Structure formats: C-alpha cells, structure tokens
Structure 1
Amino acid sequence: MGKDECKTMLDALNKVTACYRHLVTALGSTSDSQNLREELKKTRKKAQELAVANRTKLTALLKDKSISKDDRAEYERLWVLFTSSMELLEVDMKRSLEIGQDFPLKVPTRHLIQTGMTGSTTTVAARAMSVQNMKYEADANIDTVDLRELETEIAQVDQMMEEMEMKVQVAPWAVEAKQEAGAELKSTVSVGNSSVGVISICEEEPKETVEGENGTMKIFAGIIFTAVLLIAGILGYLVINL
C-alpha cells in the first residue's frame, strides 16, 4: 500500500506541475489576464502542498530500516522522480516571476507579446486541480502582492529542496531505471504483435542494407570509370587523326 500511495501522490504532483508549466507559457501573451494570474497562484500552491505531502511520506519510508532491499530501491527511484519534479517546479516559478515582472497586468494590451497562445486556460487548470467555474475578484495590487508572494514561495521551495538533500541522501546515478532507454518510445510505436515484428525487422535490416548499398556503389563506380576511359580513348584517337 505504501508504494501505491506514493505513486499516486507523485502522479498528482506531476500533473499539477505540468499544468503550472502550461499556464506559465501564456504569461505576457494576449491570453494573459488577472484570471490567469490567479490560476497560476492556485496551481503553484496546490503543487507545493502535494510536494510537502510527497516529501513527508517518502522521507519516513526511506528512514525506515525495516523495509526490504527491493522496497528501498523502489522508494529511492520515486524519490529521484520527486526531486526532478521539484526542480522543474522551481524553474517554472522563477520563470513566472521574471515574466510577471517584465509584463505587469496594468499595461495596455498592445505591449503584450504574441506567443501563439489564444483562448482561455481555465480548462487545463480546472482539470488538473478538479476545480470548475473558477471566478476571481479583482485585486488592485495583484501585480505587486502576487510577485512578492511568489518570491517568498520560491525561497521556501529552495529551502525545502536543501532540507531534502540533507535528510535523505539518494544519489540519482545510483538508482537503477526500471525500463531500458527509449522503452517509452518503443511502447508508443508498437501496437500489437505485428508492430513488434516490424520493429524487429527494422532492427535487423541495417546490416543487409549497408552491404547491398556498398555493392551497388562499387558497380556504379566501375561503370563510371569504364565510361571515362572510353571517352578518353575516343578523344585521344580524334586528336591524333586531326
């Protein structure tokens, strides 16, 4: 139950952080608005709550000396995934702060940049956070207040990551992956046994293909060499007779 619970909590964190990244891409664009800023605020706070819950659960499990070797290896793998998610969240929060400072809401719309983002972002945020019909009241000082809060939260996330490194020392390079490199791509491309067969054939083809191409190139080179000699002979004959 511990592993399943950790995986569920980590999956929820990953979804919310992905939602936050999506929302950050709309900052400073024509889709930017007070509504977007409020969604960003709620989403990052939700991500931080999930981060604390993940940290507490995984830290307790990794400090438990009674767990088996296999369970510890799995918890260490989840810990590495968790820290990676936290690093991405911190990067996006800093990016949000920088863009928010460069593009305050209280400017004419013409100063906003065109990023290709159009329409509302509420659907994505609502789906990730299970919130519907999100409405926010106007805040006259939303730029100043929110950016200050964001700076504080970035510092808190940074401090939490430092504490995580001190409490749980898991070297990312020492954690073994459960899948081979590129396994996700193969599983996406492969559909059924027929697709597996196609992949196997494609993996075996290069050697035969290279050998066939080398033989063709040799024949082609021989033909060109013979043609050059023939033309040279003809030209020499014409020069002598003329």
Structure 2
Amino acid sequence: MGKEECKTMLDALNKVTACYRHLVIALGSTSDSQNLREELKRTRKKAQELAVANRTKLTALLKDKTISKEDRSEYERLWVLFSSSMELLEVDMKRSLELGQNFPLKVPTRHLIQTGMTGSTTTVAARAISVQNIKYEADSNIDTVDLGDLQAEISQVSQMMEEMEMKVQVAPWAVEAKQEAGAELKSSMSVGNSSVGVISICEEEPKEHETITFIIFT
C-alpha cells in the first residue's frame, strides 16, 4: 500500500506541475488575463501542497530501517522522480515571476506576445486540480500582491529542496531505472495511452472560440 500510495501522490504532483507549466506559457500572450493569473496562483498552491505531502511520506519511508532492500530501491527511485518534479516547479515559478514582472496585466495589446495559444485556459487548470466552476473576484492589485507572494513561495520551495537533500541523501546516479531509455516517449506516442501526465490534463476538447496548442513535456 505504501508504494501505491506514493505513486498516486507523485502522479498527482506531476499532473499539477505539468498544468502549471502549460499555464505559464500563456503569460504575456493574448490569452493573458485576470483569470489566468488566478489559475496560476491556485495551481501553484496545489502543487506546493502536494509537494509537502510527497516529501513527508517519502522521507518517513526512507528513514524506516525495517523496510526491505527492494522496497528501499523503489522509494529511492520515487524520491529521484519527486526531486526532478520539484526542480521543474521551481524553474517554472521563477519563469512565472519574470514574465509577470515584464508583462503587467494593464498593458496595451500590442505589447503582448503570440504563443500559438488563444482563448480561455480555465478547463485545463480546473481539470488538473479537480475544481469546477471556479469564480474569481476582481483584484486590481493582483500584479504587485501576487508577484510578492510568488517571490516568497519560490524561496520556500528552494528551502524545501535544500532540506530534502540534507534529510534524505539519495544519489540520482545510483538509482536504477525501471524502463529502457526513451520508453516514456514511445508510450506518449500511443493514441490509446491516456496515463501520460500532460496529455491526460489537456485532452479536454476546447470550446469553439478556443484554440489551444497541446505540448508534451519530457
């Protein structure tokens, strides 16, 4: 049960961080809006909650001296995957901060950038964090207030990663992979496979007035 629970929790974290990356792409584009900024905030909060849950569970298991060698190897592998997901989250949070600073909401349309993505992204975020019919209240200071919060959260994530390295010392190069190189790419090319994180988030059919570019992150 421990391994399955860890895998489920890690899968949830990966899906939400993938969704966050998908939303960050729209910052400063013609799709940028109050709703997008709120979705970004909500999604990164969910990612951080899942990160804390994953860290707590895996740390406890890896510190357990009674687990078998086989189980320890599996938990170490999950720990490396978790650490990689955290690194990606930190990178995307920093990118979000930079883009948010460079592209305030109240700017002329001509200063926005084209990303190949237009329309609402509400369905993407809502599906990733299992929330429907999200309603946002207007906040005229979202640029300054949220960017300040984001900066503080980036520091918290960085601190969490440092603490992780001190509490659990797992060398990534010593962890044995369970799949052959490129297995993830092969599985993602399969039309019938809906377990890949980003695809399962972005499969929802857009509305008529929306055009969304789907991107697979590896």
Q: TM-score, normalised by structure 1?
A: 0.77
Give how far 1:100 is off.
0.2
Residue 194 of structure 1 pairs with residue 194 of structure 2: yes
After superposition, residues 14-33 of structure 1 pair within 5 angstroms as 14-33=14-33
Q: Which runs of 5+ in 1 are unaligned?
A: 208-222, 227-242
Give how far 1:203 is off.
34
Q: Which runs of 5+ in 2 are unaligned?
A: 208-214
Give how far 1:115 is off.
1.6
Counterpart CA distance in 1 for 2:178 and 2:95 is: 32
| 1:87 alignment partner in structure 2 | 87
CA contact (8 A) 1:189 1:195 kept: no
Instruction: Encode CA deviations 1:3-42: one digit per residue, 9 max, x unaligned.
Output: 0000000000000000000000000000000100000000
Counterpart CA distance in 2 for 1:63 and 1:189 is: 38
Cα distance change of structure 1 residues 2 and 118 upon mapping to structure 2, 3 Å threshold: same
Cα distance change of structure 1 residues 206 and 143 upon mapping to structure 2, 3 Å threshold: closer
Counterpart CA distance in 2 for 1:225 and 1:62 is: 29
3-state SS, counterpart of residue 224 of structure 1: coil
Give how far 1:199 is off.
25
Cα distance change of structure 1 residues 50 and 186 upon mapping to structure 2, 3 Å threshold: closer
Give how far 1:66 is off.
0.2
Instruction: Encode CA deviations 1:184-208: one digit per residue, 9 max, x unaligned.
Output: 345567899999999999999999x
Which has more helix, going by share of residues? 1
CA contact (8 A) 1:26 1:115 kept: yes
Instruction: Encode CA deviations 1:85-111: one digit per residue, 9 max, x unaligned.
Output: 000000000000000000001212222
CA contact (8 A) 2:194 2:200 kept: no
Q: Relative to structure 2, which stretch is displaced further, 106-115 or 40-49? A: 106-115
Instruction: Encode CA deviations 1:126-172: one digit per residue, 9 max, x unaligned.
Output: 11011111111111111000000000000000000000000000000
Counterpart CA distance in 2 for 1:149 and 1:39 is: 14
Residue 164 of structure 1 pairs with residue 164 of structure 2: yes
Counterpart CA distance in 2 for 1:154 and 1:197 is: 23
Cα distance change of structure 1 residues 105 and 54 upon mapping to structure 2, 3 Å threshold: same
Cα distance change of structure 1 residues 225 and 153 upon mapping to structure 2, 3 Å threshold: closer
Cα distance change of structure 1 residues 196 and 101 upon mapping to structure 2, 3 Å threshold: closer
Give how far 1:48 is off.
0.1
Counterpart CA distance in 1 for 2:216 and 2:169 is: 66
Superposed CA RMSD in Å reads 10.7
Runs of 4+ in structure 1 over 3 Å off: 184-207, 223-226
Instruction: Encode CA deviations 1:113-134: one digit per residue, 9 max, x unaligned.
Output: 1221101100110110111111
Instruction: Encode CA deviations 1:32-60: one digit per residue, 9 max, x unaligned.
Output: 00100000000000000000000000000
Cα distance change of structure 1 residues 144 and 225 upon mapping to structure 2, 3 Å threshold: closer
Q: How many percent of aligned residue pairs carry the same amino acid?
A: 91
Cα distance change of structure 1 residues 202 and 50 upon mapping to structure 2, 3 Å threshold: closer
Structure with the bigger RCO (C-alpha within 8 Å, sep 6+) is 2
3-state SS, counterpart of residue 75 of structure 2: helix
CA contact (8 A) 1:19 1:124 kept: yes
3-state SS, counterpart of residue 206 of structure 1: coil
CA contact (8 A) 2:104 2:143 kept: yes
Give how far 1:183 is off.
2.8
3-state SS, counterpart of residue 10 of structure 1: helix
Give how far 1:182 is off.
2.3
Cα distance change of structure 1 residues 106 and 69 upon mapping to structure 2, 3 Å threshold: same
3-state SS, counterpart of residue 29 of structure 1: coil
3-state SS, counterpart of residue 35 of structure 1: helix
Residue 10 of structure 1 pairs with residue 2 of structure 2: no
Counterpart CA distance in 2 for 1:64 and 1:122 is: 42
